[in-house]
Structure 1
């Protein structure tokens, strides 16, 4: 038998392997910890909610619903979340109307989205339908038509090698994905392609004239 002493811990009374109540590994008395729960971080759910919202708003504006969803994901109790969201709305840190206006301006100018697509995006972000409608109505028919025309004019040159029917179908599909209705899409595509055809005819006529002038 080895002369080394046993390395097994002995509990009270010399019983090997006994653990003190509450010690690590005692499943019966270990407190239940929920990863990411507010009490794990600061102990005050409202303080946690304020911190989460401020960090989220630092990157970009958010709607009230987006922040509410984020707080729910982080385990903030509903009452604490509502208190903080109400306070942020009161002081103007949350402003869904301003968010909707900025979103419409950016997405309509930058991506050329139609009003239908803009409304769908705002709904997905939790903006109240009436607030969303007020922002989207800032885009009038002429704005929408001009945006559609810019999209087609930008895309059409890359389709010169296609026959007109195929180019028209692809351009109308692109406008449909941007939220434009079929009537407007068809009219704009026809206008742009007609103009392109006229320009091509003019270029061809000039080329022919230039060749004729060089003949003896």
Structure 2
């Protein structure tokens, strides 16, 4: 190998080495950046989870506090003696209970009704729920009465059919008895005729 070829070979070697070195540097840099990114993503995920956990821990307390505040009764007023009661709750809302003419006034029952209305979301939902419950109960009673009436109708029909069968059976027996009597009568007449005929001989 002459000097020129040696120089070219060395040049090619260093060129390849330089390219490999640059590639290795780029690869190492990329790998380092990837590790840093993964580390950051894990940290962000952990922070998000920790934040969510804190929110979940706090939410029931906030909800319970809100519920307790909603259920708290701050004032009770008898608007009309022995008839109308108004209850004020912790959230500032008010509900009324009215004693009907046929009912006996009870402050405890009035407060209970007001609290129930408040927790259900107002008088409208309360009244609709009560009305539906009463209708369902009346429907159930009607169903029971209808079933009872249907059973009575079936029993009467069975009794009528049985009575009809018994009457038919009685008529059949009467016919059979009449036929037996007729047969016996005919036999008796024939026997008497036979005896008379023999006596004359």
Report the structure, 1 or 2, having the larger helix content. Answer: 2
How would you bin the TM-score normalised by the shorter chain?
under 0.3
TM-score, normalised to structure 2, is 0.28
TM-score, normalised to structure 1, is 0.26
Greater relative CO (CA pairs within 8 A, separation 6+): 1
